[in-house]
Chains A and B, each alone.
Chain A
Amino acid sequence: MDDNKPPTPAELTILIAGAVMLVASFLSFAGNTSAWGRYLFPIATLLPLYGIVMALQVGLTKFANISLPDRIVGFTWEQVHLVLGLLAGLMAVAWLITDTGNKQIGQWLEVLGGIALAVGAVMMQRERHTGAIG
């Protein structure tokens, strides 16, 4: 990644989605309980955690100039973003369909954030010409 350039649309999407998901994880997810609260942690916390990991990687390499290993368990960072983004999107759809009673603002933001992560991860593949998509 070229660390001196401003964030690309894909990176911005991931950064914003991750930040929103972090904040939303402390808002009511279902009933009066947040994603960190009793009965929901850690199953509902996985979604924001994926967003935080993705946003942290982009933020650290883009703004803090921290060099991370090229590969994690054989995966390039683009692949890590792709799988985390798609899994986050999958969990977002799963939560959307799951009947949790009255869905609260935190859950809606998590769902939107998860879908945004998937979109950002796909956009990143195109921006960096990984050949994974299209």
Chain B
Amino acid sequence: MKNVKLSPANIVILAAGAVMLIASFLGFYKLDIPVEHLGGGVTVGGSTSYNAWSSGQFLIATLPAFIGMAMAGQIALVTFGGVSPPEKPLGLTWDQIHLVLGFQAALMMLAFLIRSKPTNSFGIGFWLMLLSGIALFVGAVMRTSEAGRKPRAV
């Protein structure tokens, strides 16, 4: 592998994308119901959790993970895979694409945070996805704010 040097912005996006993917398999919501022994060996209650891939969450809660994967994947492919992507897909620079995708990921995770929830509460997977979504947006902003930028893939 060539001696590649990643900018801090791209490191942030790569790390956030990886964390986002892993976090999507951890508990997004957790449901805790106090355990009660009703007698006769009957017990009710307990705890369970749902990740972003669970029924009822997939695909709307998984979308930020896909966005993170797309952003990190683009940087990884160009940096480590030597792939040469089109310079301006859909007339947008890659910085603009990262900005839009990062914004969308952060916005969706914040929307999940604001959403009033029923008896369940957020799990560790949600919190990691929220942080990753914000990090994706921050990384994208860092990319665009790097001085003297010209449209480029990485």
Contact = CB atoms under 8 A, between A and B. Distances in A.
B57 interface: yes
Nearest to B144: A74
> What class of interface size applies to chain B in its complex with A?
20 to 34
B56 A99 contact: yes
A3 to B, nearest CB: 23
Nearest to B104: A87
Contacts of A42: 111, 114-115
B96 interface: yes
Interface stretch (A6-14, A20-28, A75-83): A75-83
A46 B111 contact: yes
A40 B118 CA distance: 11
Interface residues of A, number: 30
Interface in A47-100: 73-75, 78-79, 82-83, 87, 90-91, 93-95, 97-100
Nearest to B107: A46
Contacts of A132: 90-92
A46 B108 contact: yes
B39 to A, nearest CB: 34
A83 B111 CA distance: 19
A1 interface: no
Contacts of B99: 73
Contacts of A39: 115-118
B22 interface: no
- Nearest first, the 7 closest Cβ-Cβ pairs linking A and B are A132-B91, A43-B111, A94-B59, A97-B59, A98-B60, A42-B111, A83-B100
Given A41-B115, A97-B58, 11 more contacts: A42-B111, A43-B111, A46-B108, A78-B91, A79-B91, A79-B96, A93-B59, A95-B60, A98-B56, A132-B90, A132-B92
Interface of A: 38-43, 45-46, 73-75, 78-79, 82-83, 87, 90-91, 93-95, 97-100, 125, 130-133
